[in-house]
Amino acid sequence: MNYSPLILSLKTATIATFIVFVTGVVLARLISRNSFRGKSVIEAIILLPLVLPPTVVGFGLLYIFGKNGFIGRLLLDWFDFQIVFTWYAVVIAAVVVSFPLMYQSASAAFRQYDPNIENAAYTMGASKWRVFWTISFPLAWPGLLAGLVLSFARALGEFGATLMLAGYIPNVTDTIPLAIYFAVESGNLEAAKFWVIIIVALGFSAILWLNWWSKRNMMRHVQK
């Protein structure tokens, strides 16, 4: 058995989730509580990958990162580096499809507590940085964690955009979902079954753990 799909999937999904978590939290914190012109347009763009077919997302990414794409061209000219068909492409596809989930969870998480809790901290002289780490982040944490788990699961399961941007190159871009598809296609049902079981187990344990965790933490300071 070749375990490269498992390792590749875990590696790319973890990196993608990290990127998505940091940018999603920052962006949600900046945008969600404010109202400004063009906010709904920005939010619509952020959420777009959620409603588009993954192939369309993949097509768009090829358009940007492909040899003749805006960024792809720059990378090629400056660093002689082609991103398509590498594991970086797998990460990019995973970031784009899971970002809306993280953003949505984070922006809901930052809106669900009373803004005066933050204002109270400000009136006590706390800096923005301190208020973020001692008030906003801990209060939003349950929602942020849910977003994190969802994003990870989504990144792990990404198929369409990955195939378009990264292709199927054994040992390089063969994530578990791709491995399943091509195993079935080549009639290797044993291998397909194996990977199906692995990915179901991963998804299931992620959800179980999240439920267990949030139950445990909800008990702590629920408003009675």
Partner 1 sequence: MLIVEIQKRLSHFELDVKFSVANEIVVLFGPSGSGKTTILNCIAGISKPAAGIIRLNDTILFENKKVFVPIQKRNIGYVFQDYALFPHMTVWKNIAYGMQNESFVKNLMKELRIEHLRDKYPSEISGGEKQRVAIARAIATEPDALLLDEPFSALDNQTRVKGHEELLRIHKLWRIPIILVTHHLEEAKKLGNRILYLHEGKIRDSEMNANLIQS
Q: Does 114 bind partner 1 (CB under 8 A)?
A: yes
Residue 88, CB half-sphere, CA atoms under 13 Å: how many? 9
Question: Site for partner 1 (CB under 8 A): which residue of 51, 123, 190, 216?
Answer: 123
Q: Does 211 bind partner 1 (CB under 8 A)?
A: no
Question: Site for partner 1 (CB under 8 A): which residue of 121, 155, 164, 165?
Answer: 121
Query: Could you tell me which of 65, 60, 68 has the C-alpha nearest to residue 88?
Result: 65
Closest distance of CB 73 from partner 1, Å: 44
188 secondary structure, DSSP code: -
- Which residue, 30 or 74, has its beta carbon nearer to partner 1? 30
- Which residue, 121 or 166, has its beta carbon nearer to partner 1? 121
Handedness of CA 178, 184, 186, 189 (dihedral sign): positive
Q: Does 135 bind partner 1 (CB under 8 A)?
A: yes
Q: Environment class of residue 182 by beta-carbon count within 10 Å: exposed (0-12), middle (13-18) or buried (19+)?
A: middle
Closest distance of CB 224 from partner 1, Å: 5
Q: Does 122 bind partner 1 (CB under 8 A)?
A: yes
Question: Site for partner 1 (CB under 8 A): which residue of 42, 117, 189, 208?
Answer: 117
- Which residue, 106 or 180, has its beta carbon nearer to partner 1? 106
Query: Could you tell me which of 106, 108, 104, 102 has the C-alpha nearest to residue 20?
Result: 102
Closest distance of CB 132 from partner 1, Å: 13
Contacts with 27 (C-beta within 8 Å, 6 or more apart), sequence order: 46, 103, 106
Q: Does 64 bind partner 1 (CB under 8 A)?
A: no
- Which residue, 10 or 126, has its beta carbon nearer to partner 1? 126
Alpha-carbon distances of 197 from 3, 83, 160, 172, 191, rounded to whole Å: 14, 31, 20, 22, 10
149 secondary structure, DSSP code: H
Instruction: Tell me which residues touch partner 1 (CB under 8 A).
Output: 113-114, 116-117, 119-127, 134-135, 138-139, 220-224
